[in-house]
Chains A and B, each alone.
Chain A
């Protein structure tokens, strides 16, 4: 592979030919702003935020889709570049509700982050604004296309990760938007509610319903774990605030799934906080379950099991362990069955 030498912000860098300016800059720690670009999606060069100055070029070029060439001299934060970015952001927010005070994406919103960085606080363009109805008729995703910046990442995530092509741009000009086949709501489309579009959306256009008003993005602690819903072994982050789970977000470092999830992994976690969860032991008395302390319950179990073992022998006992529980729990259950009860009768439900 050929190596190409170029200069970015007066620093030399050498990369393989075919590398984009954006990636070459990343290599030496220079972060070029981007909204439609995502490492895990194909590049489209749509948002124009990543424009940079290339000496000798007639106009600014989009860094996310422009390949490096030998001897190229690039400026990523020169005055004309900054001016161009301010204009781009200015245009984007001219038709964007600036209700950041209550927006669920704040703290994880690309648009707000770059407006902050470039000091753009309101638009100088006054024009027509969209007035789409906010879509909330499903349990998982809130869709507020008033906040959409037409970056198209949701379309690509649906195509390239989930692979079902539920979304595409429809209409033209001012009215262009990512939509389902008949411009229906997600519920009435082919949507499988994986939420992968939500994961990539850089604005408050797509947000997780379960997380609504449960805490600001910067208040939650993220705990990476393994999905409990199928054998694929996807990883994700449980978001926790004040000892409660507020939601699941994707974690890019997941070796098997990257940031892709399915509806179960993304939104099925809430069984954990179902109010029907058992929190104390129950002992059946005259056909009715009565709450008991751990000590009462464990003493009763130990006495009954000891008695049955003495009277009928170890093989009068059997245990079912669980294909849902951890390895450590399974190991302990089989050890208990073998070492304590003295029988090999331990199995679990799914022998598939």
Chain B
């Protein structure tokens, strides 16, 4: 979320899910919402039924692309020229919101200078999107009052993911689509509590509520509350952890409820990193691919076995309630407390509510939220005081950082493109029936959709002599795997599309180790491969 944090000073979904049915235009960039966030997808279909215009930018013909007013089938990795091209047209036709730009933003000149070079015909040839569609979508977005922008993994999982996000933010600011209901820049977060994990400070550079570890005032506050002195340098992001495991500087890891071997790009590199550690603790529901490398595996409790809270993609903190006793006897919060005590640091919370209370007392943006207030509907942060109702949409009147910062952003081609040896493009994503690592353990869901099927365009299938159901070996510069083929024109020629949910065809053995330089997000979306029938 670094991109939005730079532009606005805050990196979350600006608006709310229940504003969707009232929107007049939905502009979706790289989000297959009906599969990744189905109920949000329902609301998008509802908006469409009520007359909203729908624009879908995606190389794949997703469900929403099928019903879209404009489906822009761009070439993978060309989001930035597309967005710059749209902004070029808006400026060329004078459709920008001049008042918003002068009152609420800064650095507009840099943007104007950059997008000047993105002439519609040039953009069309880079992206593959027809010039007429560029004009139509630019005019539609600029002239529609209630227009919401959405994006998800598709746009952040690129080498230039952060730049993509900033480009989207540029577009929204240029047309004043911020700080009001049914507008905004809306990243749809993938995992159920990825928003909350970030909010709680499970990040190497910030404490809870994005309070920076390098800030001495912040550190002093936490030092006093926690009764210890705290490290001042930011820690390692996940990709650097595995690097340092390789070089031997990192000796021990504790991994709670994650399966990086299956879900992170370039899994072979992760496996060998884990092997090098002196000591690995994995705290998990199942003996996952990652847990196999552990010295000690701790059994975890599921969401149904604990009290607590999750924070959804719209910043809504909601209660998680215990329905059954923890199968391993200890809930995860109890396990961390016991471990801490054994290490000589006292933690003495009787309930998760007491944990929340401590956190809220140290975190201004969440200070007004307590369990009583969460009883019925949850609350959207920021919520600074116990009288504050919570915040349905951000940036009304002013941005978190004061003025919105325009940035001129140029096109960075994908880190790895197809060539003679690896002639296909691999793209990975989520499918409806699965959710990273837990759903394959759902007997019901597994029985219905148990095998990976990789999507291939009929033209390519004909050239390679493949039919639906055939098995192929897929090889990249980093590894290989075997998968079944599904022949469909959902994908364009030259592309193979795989999901990353199945251990027996681990797509992440193939994906690229090239990382976004700012967020260190792996480039899951674009990587070059070859395909052989077996």
Contact = CB atoms under 8 A, between A and B. Distances in A.
B262 to A, nearest CB: 10
B441 A274 contact: yes
Nearest to B362: A331
A333 B336 contact: yes
B216 interface: no
B383 interface: no
Contacts of B251: 308, 312, 316-317
A238 interface: yes
B329 interface: yes
A235 interface: yes
A318 B296 contact: no
B520 A230 contact: no
Interface string A131-162: 00000001110000000000000000000111
Contact of A268 (B41, B213, B241, B442): B442
Contacts of A126: none
Contact of B231 (A338, A348, A350): A338
Contacts of A304: 252, 278-279, 295
Interface stretch (A54-62, A80-88, A282-290): A282-290
Interface string A232-243: 111100101001
B231 A314 contact: yes
A33 B395 CA distance: 47
Nearest to B430: A230
A301 B296 contact: yes
Interface string B364-378: 000000000000111
B218 to A, nearest CB: 12
Given A283-B295, A330-B200, A278 B286 contact: yes
B258 A349 contact: yes
Interface string A330-352: 11111111111011111111111
B143 interface: no
A298 interface: yes
B195 A231 contact: yes
A272 to B, nearest CB: 5
Interface string B227-250: 010110111111001001000011
B306 interface: yes
A51 to B, nearest CB: 31
Interface in B309-338: 309-314, 316-325, 327-330, 332-333, 335-338
B42 A260 contact: yes
Given A139-B444, A325-B197, A271 B342 contact: no
A304 B343 CA distance: 10
Nearest to A307: B279
A319 B328 CA distance: 21
A326 B251 CA distance: 27
Nearest to A227: B192
Interface in A189-204: 192-194
Most buried by A among B40, B435, B442, B445: B442
A93 to B, nearest CB: 32
B193 A139 contact: no
A193 B437 CA distance: 20
A224 interface: yes
Nearest to B342: A302
A244 interface: yes
Contacts of A17: none
A77 to B, nearest CB: 34
Contacts of A326: 193, 196, 303, 306, 308-310, 320, 332-333, 352
| Number of chain B interface residues as a range | 35 or more
Nearest to B318: A226
Contact of B447 (A139, A272, A320): A139
Query: Which of A253, A255, A306, A325 gathers most chain B CB within 10 Å?
Result: A325
A163 B193 contact: no
B412 interface: no
A10 interface: no
Contacts of A185: none
B267 interface: no
Contacts of A312: 251
A327 interface: yes
B238 A349 contact: yes
B250 A339 contact: no
B134 to A, nearest CB: 27
B521 interface: yes
Residue of B202, B213, B258 ringed by the most chain A CB atoms within 10 A: B202
A347 B237 CA distance: 6
* Residue among A161, A292, A329, A336 having the largest count of chain B Cβ atoms under 10 Å: A329
Nearest to B33: A232
Interface in A255-292: 255-257, 260-265, 267-272, 274, 276-284, 289, 292
Given A317-B253, A318-B235, A350 B347 contact: no
Contacts of A270: 442-444
B445 A264 contact: yes
Contact of A351 (B233, B238, B327): B238
Contact of A318 (B17, B253, B345, B435): B253
Interface of A: 138-140, 160-164, 192-194, 209-210, 223-235, 238, 240, 243-245, 253, 255-257, 260-265, 267-272, 274, 276-284, 289, 292, 294, 297-302, 304-306, 308, 312, 314-340, 342-352
Interface of B: 17-18, 36-42, 45-46, 49, 152-153, 156-157, 161, 187-205, 207-208, 213, 222, 226, 228, 230-231, 233-238, 241, 244, 249-260, 263-264, 278-279, 281, 284-287, 294-300, 302-306, 308-314, 316-325, 327-330, 332-333, 335-340, 342-343, 345, 347, 352, 355-356, 358-359, 376-378, 432-439, 441-445, 447-448, 519-521
14 contacts: A139-B445, A225-B303, A228-B320, A245-B323, A274-B286, A315-B235, A322-B193, A323-B193, A324-B193, A326-B332, A330-B193, A330-B200, A340-B345, A350-B194
Identify the 8 closest CB pairs spanning chains A and B, nearest first.
A233-B312, A326-B308, A163-B45, A344-B235, A345-B235, A322-B257, A262-B38, A231-B313
